[in-house]
Structure 1
Amino acid sequence: MANTNNPLRTVNVTRYVTPLREGGSMPAIAEADDGFLYVLKFRGAGQGHKALISEIIGGEIARILGLKVPELVLANLDEAFGRTEPDEEIQDLLKASVGLNLALHYLSGAITYDPTVTKIEQLLASQIVWLDCLLTNMDRTPRNTNMLFWHKELWLIDHGASLYFHHSWQNWEEQAKRPFMLVKDHVLLPQAEFLTEVDESFKTILTPSLIQDVLNIIPDEWLNEDIFKSSQAQREAYALFLNTRIANSAIFVKEAQNAKEAII
């Protein structure tokens, strides 16, 4: 059952500030009625609500594990919001995104993590690699690190490309036990010296109860796959996928260790 007392705050978008065109889904910086700026992720963008689901699951699991993630909020977009937008592409996106969207607190002044400039401490690198193997997050590469330095701390952003199995749900039970082959491209893999130790620690933290708490955050209206009888059935499928993956984490840890050894 979805959590009627959702731990994520809900805000109303009041001002579209500027698009972030480097993202394929064209997120934007927007202001909300609480006076803060957010990076707004639109339900009407290319991957739709599936990317928003991945953002919630990835971001909130990372937070449980003690990693830094900007605050996530649910963001309401009013039907009248985009009527005065002169850019036709943006106007179409706003019209397609009326209703509940997702936003991340905007980290003003943050600097993109550059692996050629800064080396991450080995334990932290191992924690992030483990997380991304769990989530099958393909989008933490040298080309696009999706990490920011803000107030001298490393923050993780953009988990929308995670859990790519849910774009088709084909053989998803089997995929839960597969290694994450794309870990070979992970920007932090060379520094991930403590994967075994992190695995032992993180497996004990991520209990089925905590996974369920994360999944209960997802709004029912985003859980509308035709192959499931209800939003709750889809939520249960996510739970089974994640809990199975955690229980079999030795598989993706071994793949990561092998990929690390293969780095010349």
Structure 2
Amino acid sequence: MLPEVNATRYVTPLREGGSLPGIVEADNHGTYVVKFRGAGQGPKALVAEVISGELARRLDLPVPELAVTHLDPIVARAEPDEEVQELIRASAGANLGMDYLPGALGYDPVAHPVEADLASRTLAFDAFVENVDRSWRNPNLLIWHGDLWLIDHGATLYFHHNWPRAGNVAQRAYKWDDHVLRPYATNLATAGPALAAELTPGLLEEVIALVPDEWLAEFDFPSAEQARAAYLGHLRTRAAAWPAWLPGAAA
């Protein structure tokens, strides 16, 4: 299970995020960037954050610690912004927190070259989860204490926005033309297939099991168990078909 914390204070919104995430303090003395279930993207963005983020962690990619962050709407009382108040009230209960990295810098591909194997594994991972949000325009990468960190995976797994069609796109190729790490991913020919081999059914089942039932029970399926089975079936199929989606693999 993911760690669980209770939000004790809403600190400030992060307005550069389309879903209006916010920084909160929690009862474990930690500080988190919270993605709210009441935001426009809804709980599916939180599902994608957990599955993709925890999969990346198990593939030895650097992702800040995730935690289920329980929110009492009373924390909104001190927030003067009515939009934020409404968002917090709509997000009572379990939300998704990501460990806050104080002082982290936004990634600049010119100023921050990335080691070839890390860049290649990151690109291969993004290809598997179909991450459309790692371009040079919006890399969703941070530099913290000199190291690269991967953040914001709510836009991955976009097959789950259309389950009736999901089976038809399980082998969809990944468009990597504007991937921010493409210039550094010079080991992709070896690191890509190696990462694909690590995408075992057991690993996929493990990360899917981390998603709270209530986020899965709100849409598309009669039960959380059926939703988990659907995610697992799709991702198993995609993992097995890696030459179809991994850039350059079929060349």
Pairwise TM-score range, normalised by the shorter structure: over 0.9
Asked if 2 retains the 8 angstrom alpha-carbon contact of 1:195 and 1:257, the reply is no
Asked if 2 retains the 8 angstrom alpha-carbon contact of 1:15 and 1:31, the reply is yes
User: Residues 60-84 of structure 1: CA distance to partner in whole angstroms, max 9, x if unpaired?
Assistant: 1110110111000000001322234
Q: 2:69 aligns with which of 66, 69, 75?
A: 75
Q: Which residue is 1:186 aligned to?
A: 179
Is residue 24 from structure 1 mapped to residue 18 from structure 2 by the alignment? yes
Q: Which residue is 1:210 aligned to?
A: 203
How far apart are the structure 1 equivalents of 2:186 and 2:241?
Answer: 20
| TM-score, reference length from structure 2 | 0.95
Q: Percent identity?
A: 50
Asked if 2 retains the 8 angstrom alpha-carbon contact of 1:19 and 1:28, the reply is yes
Is residue 231 from structure 1 mapped to residue 224 from structure 2 by the alignment? yes
Amino acid in the other structure paired with 2:93 = G
Q: Which residue is 1:244 aligned to?
A: 237
Amino acid in the other structure paired with 1:212 = E
Q: Which residue is 2:132 aligned to?
A: 138
Deviation at 1:256?
Answer: 7.8
Matches within 5 A, 1:142-157: 142-157=136-151
Q: 2:40 aligns with which of 26, 41, 46?
A: 46
Amino acid in the other structure paired with 1:20 = L
Is residue 112 from structure 1 mapped to residue 122 from structure 2 by the alignment? no
- The runs of 5 or more residues in structure 2 that have no matched partner are none
- Between 1:209-218 and 1:183-192, the stretch displaced more is 183-192
How far apart are the structure 2 equivalents of 1:92 and 1:56?
Answer: 24
How far apart are the structure 1 equivalents of 2:85 and 2:8?
Answer: 15
Deviation at 1:47?
Answer: 0.5
Deviation at 1:168?
Answer: 2.2
How far apart are the structure 1 equivalents of 2:196 and 2:129?
Answer: 14
- Segments ≥4 residues shifted beyond 4 Å: 255-258
Asked if 2 retains the 8 angstrom alpha-carbon contact of 1:55 and 1:158, the reply is yes
Q: Which residue is 2:6 aligned to?
A: 12
The residue matched to 1:40 in structure 2 has which SS? strand
User: Residues 42-100 of structure 1: CA distance to partner in whole angstroms, max 9, x if unpaired?
Assistant: 00001011111111011111101101110000000013222342211000000000000
| TM-score, reference length from structure 1 | 0.91
How far apart are the structure 2 equivalents of 1:37 and 1:245?
Answer: 35
How far apart are the structure 1 equivalents of 2:15 and 2:82?
Answer: 14
Deviation at 1:196?
Answer: 2.5
- Between 1:198-207 and 1:236-245, the stretch displaced more is 198-207
Deviation at 1:103?
Answer: 0.3
Q: Which residue is 2:51 aligned to?
A: 57
Deviation at 1:228?
Answer: 2.0
How far apart are the structure 1 equivalents of 2:219 and 2:111?
Answer: 47
Deviation at 1:18?
Answer: 0.7
